[in-house]
Amino acid sequence: MQKPLVRGFFDTVTATWSYVVWADGRQECAVIDTVLDYDIHSGRTKTVSADRVINFVKEKGLKVEWVLETHIHADHLTGSSYVKKQLGGKTAISKHILKVLETWQPIFHNETDTPLAGYQFDHLFADDETFKIGALEARIIHTPGHTPADTTYIIGDAAFVGDAMFLPDVGTGRCDFPGGSAADSYDSSRKLLALPDAYRMYVGHDYPPAGKRLPQCMATVAEQKAANIRVREGISKEAYVEKRIKDDTGKDVPKLLLPSIQVNLRAGDFGAATEGTQYVKLPVNKI
Residue 92 has pLDDT above 90, yes or no: yes
Complete DSSP assignment for 142-174: E--SSSTT-EEEEETTEEEEETS---TTT----
∠ CA 93-98-103, rounded to 5°: 125
**Cβ(179)–Cβ(199) under 8 Å?**
no
What confidence score (pLDDT) does residue 287 get? 82
- Residue 285's contacts (CB-CB under 8 Å, 6 or more residues apart) are none
Dist. CA 86–CA 59, nearest whole Å: 14
Give the pairing type, strands 44-46 and 37-39. Answer: antiparallel
**Cβ(125)–Cβ(141) under 8 Å?**
no
Answer left, alpha or beta for residue 25, where phi above 0 means left and psi between -120 and 50 means alpha. Answer: left
Half-sphere exposure of 244 (CA within 13 A, CB side): 29
Strands (DSSP E) contained in the chain are: 5-11, 16-22, 28-32, 37-39, 44-46, 63-68, 90-94, 123-125, 130-133, 136-142, 151-155, 158-162, 200-203, 218-220, 273-274, 277-278
Residue 202 has pLDDT above 90, yes or no: yes
Among 95, 38, 47, CA closest to 71: 95
Residues shown for the chain? 287
Compute CA distances 90 → 26, 85, 203, 231, 272, whole Å: 18, 10, 22, 34, 22
Residue 199 has pLDDT above 90, yes or no: yes
Cβ-based burial of 48 (10 A; exposed 0-12, middle 13-18, buried ≥19)? exposed
Determine the average pLDDT of the residues in 63-88. 98
Complete DSSP assignment for 65-76: EEEE-SS--SSS
pTM greater than 0.95 (yes/no): yes
Residue 286 has pLDDT above 90, yes or no: no
Helix 257-264 vs helix 97-108: angle between axes, to the nearest 10 degrees?
120
What confidence score (pLDDT) does residue 157 get? 98
Query: Phi then psi for 154, rounded to 5 degrees?
Result: -105, 110
Please identify, in words, the CATH class of the domain defined by 5-267: alpha beta
Compute CA distances 44 → 41, 78, 261, 278, whole Å: 8, 14, 17, 11
Of the pLDDT bands very low, low, confident and very high (cuts 50, 70, 90), residue 1 is: confident
Domain ranges of the chain: 5-267
For the stretch 219-274, pLDDT in tens is: 999 999 999 999 999 999 999 999 999 999 999 999 999 999 999 999 999 998 99
Give the pairing type, strands 158-162 and 151-155. Answer: antiparallel
